[in-house]
Amino acid sequence: MNRLVKDRHLITNVILTLTLLALFASTGLAAYLLGLEYLPGIWWGEGDDDPFGSAFMESRWIVADSPPPLAPLPLTSVYVGEGDLLSANAYLLRLSDGGVLLDYDAGARVFPASLTKIMTALVVIESGIDMEETVTISRGLLTRLEAEDASTAGFGAGDSVKVRDLLYGVILPSGAECSEALAVAVAGSVGDFVQMMNTTAYRLELRNTNFSNPTGLHDDSQFSSARDMAELLRYAMLNETFRSVFLTKDYVSAPTGRHPQGLAMQNRVAKNLAVALMPEVFSCKTGYTRQAGICLASYLIVGGEEYIFVTMGAPRDIDDVYLHDLDFIAKKISRPLHPLREG
């Protein structure tokens, strides 16, 4: 009888062991087929909780860096070879489904230059400030920005300007005086406004982004990535006010002391792209500092599809650098895309 009991116990252990092995193998196969970079691990143990003596104690996922993805990410669809892009970093996003069609070192932390002003405009709009409120441009502000060689929209010292007009000044001519004047009007100080910018970045899960000013003037502690900027612009375009400002190419402000007929502003790069070669580029925001290189955040419609395309870190000494990378991408997405090619 004891022999029979032992045999049954042995058979039971063998069956359980084979079952666990089958489960282990099928789990590993499933992970492989799903493309997960995680391997099932075997942990050996001893003690009263181990039903098989020195056999399996438990099986768990070995996670190297982060939890497994909740869902597969869209495959990159635009192949970029050596020399295809002038920019060091690029990211192409399809708005209809969030598909990532190009990720060219897009997670690298780089300096954003005036792409910063996308966040500046968004924070101003989301603050709820009255668009008809007037803000006075101080002489001290203009003097300091001139010394820093910052781009300005052209408002004069003492001008009382509507918030709405300053908002257009932030995006179209990339006016630093508009950015700082709005920052103080919204938050009371530039420092408090920057905190609002970083709070928004955290809320939007822009993990490779940090701001130290609202203008994009160089600061070693101010950085972002092509991916974060694309995600920021995608979110901002959902706001009707931001979208209206961003898609405008020409605008005239209300009369001011220095500009009794109103200050005429335009997005020159967007106008040049549309007229010269690329009507599918609806609008864009430019940026440049010596440390950041040339940056561009674009909104395109090609073949009825909307796209966000962000490039950063292009060299300044190449003619038509804005046009080159946009033209390359527009041609790629105007014809059928192919699955990711290994390079």
Q: Give catalytic residue positions.
A: 114, 117, 174
Crossing angle between the packed helical segments 163-171 and 116-126, to the nearest 10 degrees: 160
Distance (Å, whole) CA 88 – CA 284: 18
Distance (Å, whole) CA 153 – CA 178: 7
Which sign does the torsion angle of CA 104, 106, 109, 115 carry? positive
CA angle 245, 251, 255 (to 5 degrees): 120
134 has which bridge partners?
Answer: 162
- What the block records as the tokens of 293 is 């290189």
- What the block records as the tokens of 66 is 């982060």
DSSP state of 68: P
Token pair 């060299």 is found at 315
DSSP state of 229: H
Nearest alpha-carbon partner for 274 in 195, 330, 200, 198:
330
